Amino acid sequence: MDTQLRGIGMTSARTRERLINRLREAGVSNERVLEVIRTTPRHFFIDEALAHQAYDDTALPIGYGQTISQPWVVARMTELLIEPGTPAKVLEIGTGCGYQSAVLAALCGSVYSVERIRPLQEQARRRLVELGLAKVRLKHADGGLGWNSEAPFNGILAACARPDIPAELLAQLADGGRLVMPVGDRLQKLTVVDRRGDEFTTRQLDAVRFVPFQRGIQ
């Protein structure tokens, strides 16, 4: 294990506890989610030069104009995703650095994650393997198309925003499944879609700010 993974002062129990308290104050109440945030090494998913900020409740740059989501956003989306029951099979759009994938892998049955920027996808794979999370299935592709050969999914979580929800993602949601995604242009709302048969119920929740859901691969 390298020094970054073994952890240094910034990864101390006290620093992580402060983040958990902050998430509680911000309304996160699912104890399983809080425990996974406490035990997932966020510093391991970002550049060493930023590692001292790893347990602050802020988004941080991960290169290629992308960011690792703010811990509150990861916690809130995960809490919403597992609220109806732990999903057996989850699709994530926007692997980025792989942090949210690691959180999902600790809570859900199997995790499939798609990223459109190849170097980010490759780096996420190395990090997840090093953390013993090789079971997370990763693909370099346009997440707007979902992952048809593995559908249906009991949960779908997108970490990038669009004004509309791609029809392909709704079609790949299992009966009884839930999709969580930021919807909007510059102003976005966390949006939850529940599928019952061919009926889709949509609710708009918190105001959020995500990187854009882009088309094609890079």
Least Å from the CB of residue 198 to ligand SAH: 25
Selected catalytic residue, list 12, 29, 69, 101:
69
Nearer to ligand SAH, 112 or 213 (CB): 213
Which residues are near ligand SAH by CB under 6 A?
Answer: 66-69, 93-97, 99-100, 114-117, 120, 142-144, 159-160, 211, 213-214
Least Å from the CB of residue 199 to ligand SAH: 26
Where does the chain show beta strands of DSSP type E?
Answer: 60-63, 66-68, 89-93, 110-115, 137-140, 153-158, 173-184, 188-196, 199-208
Nearer to ligand SAH, 96 or 177 (CB): 96
101 assigned to active site:
no
Cα–Cα distance measured from residue 175 to residue 195, given in angstroms and rounded to the nearest whole number? 6
- Cβ-based neighbours of 4, under 8 Å, separated by 6 or more: 43, 44, 48, 51
Nearer to ligand SAH, 52 or 196 (CB): 52
**What are the residue numbers of the active site?**
69
